[in-house]
A and B are shown apart, each in its own frame.
Chain A
Amino acid sequence: AQTVTQSQPEMSVQEAETVTLSCTYDTSESDYYLFWYKQPPSRQMILVIRQEAYKQQNATENRFSVNFQKAAKSFSLKISDSQLGDAAMYFCACAFGGTSYGKLTFGQGTILTVHP
């Protein structure tokens, strides 16, 4: 069974600064995918970024980037130039290929507060 661990229940950052959210995972599979999802207060969960494990290059999406350390099984999210709208709960998740149909295993979540 796979596990995903987010060890930071809460994080805070000043507007325009950079923050990194941590995530570690444990799996014996070789074909897997990693995701960061954002859940703003009282709003729908949306995808922030995804990373295929077979790709060595770290994924980036505008101000969001990941640091994927496959050997260490670490998948952190870096948010640059933080904005007030980045305040949300962030979930790290893992899915496997093959016949698993992409079902996700989630971490516990990290609440990000952005201070003006």
Chain B
Amino acid sequence: DVKVTQSSRYLVKRTGEKVFLECVQDMDHENMFWYRQDPGLGLRLIYFSYDVKMKEKGDIPEGYSVSREKKERFSLILESASTNQTSMYLCASSLSAGGRVDTQYFGPGTRLTVL
């Protein structure tokens, strides 16, 4: 089975702190994604990566950056956390390269609270 893990289930940070959310997948997937989930808004794509060191902005990248130094690991970075970044963050991965659309597998999520 595909396994996607995230470093923390719950995280509490203070405004202005630098925050790292880590995601690891164990199935040699090419693509990795970061979404945030908010009530009434569903999930929105922050950033995704289709290869090591390759990344693209999603729909709401402002205030976030990402890093993918190894194929299995994709990090989301909040450079200076703000209260409006309080949310559930979900990582996902999928196998495909190129034009094929494969199923995305999700991690358990990190509920981040910024005080």
Chain A residues near B (Cβ < 8 Å): 4, 6, 9, 33, 35, 37, 43-47, 50, 91, 93, 95-109
Pairs A-B, 4 closest by C-beta atoms:
A106-B42, A45-B106, A102-B101, A106-B43
Query: CB distance B31 to A102 under 8 Å?
Result: yes
Q: Is residue B15 within 8 Å, beta carbon to beta carbon, of the partner chain?
A: no
- Number of A-B residue pairs, CB cutoff 8 Å, is 64
For chain B, the bracket of interface size reads 20 to 34
Q: From the candidates A37, A45, A97, A108, name the one contacting B101 in the complex (CB within 8 A).
A: A97
Chain A residue at smallest Cβ distance from B107:
A44
Query: CB distance B96 to A101 under 8 Å?
Result: yes
Query: CB distance B90 to A103 under 8 Å?
Result: no
Given A91-B43, A101-B31, A107-B42: A46 and B106 interface contact (C-beta under 8 Å): yes
Binds A, one of B44-52, B62-70, B79-87: B44-52
Query: CB distance B42 to A102 under 8 Å?
Result: no
Query: CB distance B103 to A50 under 8 Å?
Result: yes
Query: CB distance A109 to B42 under 8 Å?
Result: yes
Question: How many angstroms between the C-alpha atoms of A105 and B106 in the bound complex?
Answer: 15
Question: How many angstroms between the C-alpha atoms of A108 and B43 in the bound complex?
Answer: 7
